[in-house]
Amino acid sequence: MSAPGTRRSHRASGEGGASGAPRKPRVLHVTPMYPTPGKPSRGAFVASQIKSLAPYADIDLYVLPGGGGIGPYLTHIGELRRRIRGDHDIVHAHYGNLGTLVKMIGTNGKPVVTSYCGTDLNGVRSLKDRLFAGLNRKYAAKDAHAIAKSEGLAAHIRGIAPALSIIPNGVDLGRFAPTSREEARARIKVPSGKPVILFPANPDDTNKNFALIERALGAARKEVLLVTFPGGKIPHERIPDYMNAADLVVLASLQEGSPNVVKEAMACNRPVLSTDCGDVRWLLEGVTKSAVLSYDPADWAPRFAAIAAGDLPGDSNGREALEQKGLGEDAVARRILAVYESLISPQP
């Protein structure tokens, strides 16, 4: 019987198929972040990335059950050890804290790839986060290959990790694509009478800095429909409709790695306003109708006032920019495959 939190893919048979092609890398993916019925947006980017890798790698997935905090790490060490001893070429840990635990308890001789996502290296939210970030930076030296989502994160472990790549999460360009604004609004039951500003995050998450948006809106709030994701309970498969329903997508975070919501908005050609967090400045480089703004509400207020007055920005060229930056999900999957292959190919 499968252990709790375990998902297994089909194995490739033998060392190659009938054509003699080399077998796929066998990869154990471990993560504490994965969608659940109660938290459908939790770790959605991890789930999407693993799905995009399925054509290229033979995947086993072990999701540590439980909520946040250190509990799942401690109570599932035995099962984690058992999984690591399985028939895999590589262990890929999604999130630095779990990657550090894997390297501490022993890798059974397997190379470890750790994907660092944000707080696990920048440690900005609390003393606990800072302690874990320091530990993760130290243990990055034991990664066979480290993947950072942005240059800002990579800077924390450059010169420590033996091999390091900056590989942001990709976007499923089939799912996230421009569609009819009115039809999208009808599907999510958003009225059409007012301009729609989308804040695609939980407003109660202090890192997302919803207070900035509220202050900047001021009196314009009554002239627009501000849509948020309270509790982070919007299933990821519904988010394309929210993006396409919006006249403007906003992000005000204090810290990010490589925020997927910006890329998803770009894929739908929605204009984006954002603070300078994570790699947003690079993402929005060359994107029309979009801008990186300061943390001063006065910088945002005139743009909100214009939208409230009916001066809508219209479509951006975000999808084109996203493709030029190589951030389609399949392109990103191929870059990660190259990391895997570098670890299992015979060395000269």
* pTM over the 0.75 mark: yes
Q: What is the overall mean pLDDT for the chain?
A: 90
Distance, CA of 46 to CA of 95 (rounded, Å): 9
pLDDT exceeds 90 at position 38: no
pLDDT exceeds 70 at position 100: yes
Residue 129: its pLDDT value, please?
83
The domains of the chain, with CATH numbers, are 6-170+328-344 (3.40.50.2000), 181-324 (3.40.50.2000)
Neighbours of 62 (CB within 10 A): 25
Strand (E) or helix (H) holding 145: strand 145-148
| Band of pLDDT at residue 12, cut at 50, 70 and 90 | very low
User: Residue range 315-320: average pLDDT?
Assistant: 98
Determine contact, residues 140/157, Cβ cutoff 8 Å: yes
pLDDT exceeds 80 at position 16: no
Half-sphere exposure of 155 (CA within 13 A, CB side): 7
User: Residue range 18-30: average pLDDT?
Assistant: 81
Residue 21: its pLDDT value, please?
63
Q: Which of 35-44, 121-130, 221-230, 298-307 has the lowest mean pLDDT?
A: 121-130
Which tens digits make up the pLDDT trace of 123-174? 766 788 889 999 999 999 999 999 999 999 999 999 999 999 999 999 999 9
| Band of pLDDT at residue 257, cut at 50, 70 and 90 | confident
The burial class, CB within 10 Å (0-12 / 13-18 / 19+), for 310 is exposed
| Maximum alpha-carbon separation in the chain | 67
Residue 216: its pLDDT value, please?
98
Residue 232: its pLDDT value, please?
78
Which one of 16-20, 75-79, 309-313 scores highest in mean pLDDT? 309-313
User: Residue range 198-217: average pLDDT?
Assistant: 96
pLDDT exceeds 70 at position 13: no
pLDDT exceeds 70 at position 8: no
The amino acid present at 202, given as its one-letter code, is: N
